[in-house]
C-alpha cells in the first residue's frame, strides 16, 4: 500500500520513531543533568552545552560517559 512517492507505512513509522528519539532523549538527558550533582565545578554546565549543541549525539555521550561523573 505505497503512495505515488514511494513512502509507505514502515518508512513513516521509522521516521516518527527517529523524530521522537531525537527530541525525547536530549530532554531526558537535560533533566537528568539538572537534577544531578557533579564532581567538578563546571561539569554540569559543560554537559548541558554538549547536549544542547550536539543534541542526540550529546545525549548519548552523556548517558555513556557523563553519568559516571555524578555524585551518587
d(CA 53, CA 47) in angstroms, rounded, equals 10
Burial class of 55 by CB neighbour count within 10 A (0 to 12, 13 to 18, 19+):
middle
**Is a pLDDT exceeding 80 seen at residue 1?**
no
pLDDT at 4: 57
d(CA 37, CA 64) in angstroms, rounded, equals 17
Would you kindly state where each structural domain of the chain is located, as residue ranges?
23-69
pLDDT at 39: 84
List pLDDT tens digits, range 18-65. Answer: 888 889 999 999 999 999 998 888 999 999 999 999 999 999 999 999
Amino acid at each position: 500500500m505505497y503512495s505515488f512517492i514511494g513512502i509507505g507505512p514502515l518508512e513513516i513509522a521509522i521516521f516518527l520513531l527517529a523524530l521522537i528519539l531525537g527530541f525525547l532523549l536530549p530532554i531526558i538527558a537535560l533533566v537528568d543533568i539538572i537534577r544531578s550533582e557533579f564532581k567538578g565545578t563546571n561539569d554540569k554546565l559543560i554537559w548541558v552545552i554538549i547536549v544542547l549543541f550536539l543534541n542526540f549525539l550529546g545525549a548519548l555521550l552523556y548517558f555513556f560517559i557523563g553519568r559516571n561523573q555524578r555524585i551518587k
